[in-house]
Structure 1
Amino acid sequence: MCNFCDSSVQFIIKNDQAAYFQFASIQSEAGKALLVEYKIPENIDSVILIEQGKAYFESTAALKICRKLDGLWPVCYVFIFLPLFIRNTVYRIVAKNRYRLFGRKKVCLMPTPVQRKRFL
């Protein structure tokens, strides 16, 4: 329902030609199973990256995702050196206001057959 979340997934798919990333909604059965498997707290309402057996949240997840994308996006990983409280404060401000800033979708777009393979 979130335009920002949907746009972020579409952006990652477009800029991840190696198809490194797979996706699951937190509300889906696969998403719920991953939350349990990786002992992710239920109050996490953020992008979650599971990589090499470890779960990352908020700005750390976003920056680690950038690091694997095509083009110049890996340069953004330099922000990992900012203190976590600063990075996550900015992340939380955007996340808290995402519906107001980016709107909501009334209907979710169905992924193409190629994109569908990337969803758990």
Structure 2
Amino acid sequence: MLVSLSMEHLKNIVFFDGVCGFCNKSVDLLIRLDDDEVLRFAPLQGDTAKSVLSDARRENLDTICFFDGDSVFTKTRALLEIGRAIGGGLQLSYPLVVVPARLRDPVYDWVAERRYRWFGKSDSCRMPSPEERRLFLD
């Protein structure tokens, strides 16, 4: 069973397209990099996303979303916030937040448009392994 938390405990959640091959590989990488297990993961298609994100955000499957407990970030800003939350060497990229999104996001958008073609798409959302289940929200 996936973890369910009350709203006051929801923070540092990475929302991802659960059927996207690239997104799932990215989640695998984040799990490996997150030594302190500060991140939680939830598919954009799931119940946690329904309770935290607006309909418009959940329907826009071409972007990662990161919820820090107060705000929702998308695209490159989400990646920078995720790096900051994990800490270590990844937080060194956070100063890029001063670069306007209109300059940061075009490469992100270019990859997002091609991700299914390059990495495939599943018929259903990713099922975490037994070892990963504590990190995933429904």
After TM superposition, is the score higher than 0.5? Answer: yes
Instruction: Give the counterpart of 1:44 among 60, 72, 94.
Output: 60
1:25-104 matches, cutoff 5 A: 25-36=43-54, 41-45=57-61, 46-69=63-86, 71-104=88-121
Number of matched pairs: 118
Q: Which residue of 2 aligns with 1:110?
A: 127
2:8 is equivalent to residue 16 of structure 1: no
**Structure 2: which 5+ residue stretches go unaligned?**
1-18
- The one-character-per-residue Cα deviations of 1:49-74 (angstroms, maximum 9, x if unpaired) are 11131111111001111223355322
Structure 1: state its 5+ residue gaps. none
User: TM-score with structure 2 length normalisation?
Assistant: 0.72
Cα distance, 1:112 vs. partner?
2.4
Identity of aligned residues (%): 31
CA contact (8 A) 2:64 2:78 kept: yes
Partner SS state of residue 97, structure 2: helix
TM-score by length of structure 1 reads 0.82
| Cα contact 1:68–1:74 (8 A) shared by 2 | yes
Shift of 1:111: 1.9
Distance 2:51 2:73 in 1: 16
Corresponding residue for residue 25 of structure 2: 7
1:94 aligned partner, one-letter code:
V
Q: CA RMSD in A?
A: 2.3
Contact 1:15/1:70, CA 8 A, preserved across alignment: no
Q: Match of 2:132, as an amino acid?
A: Q
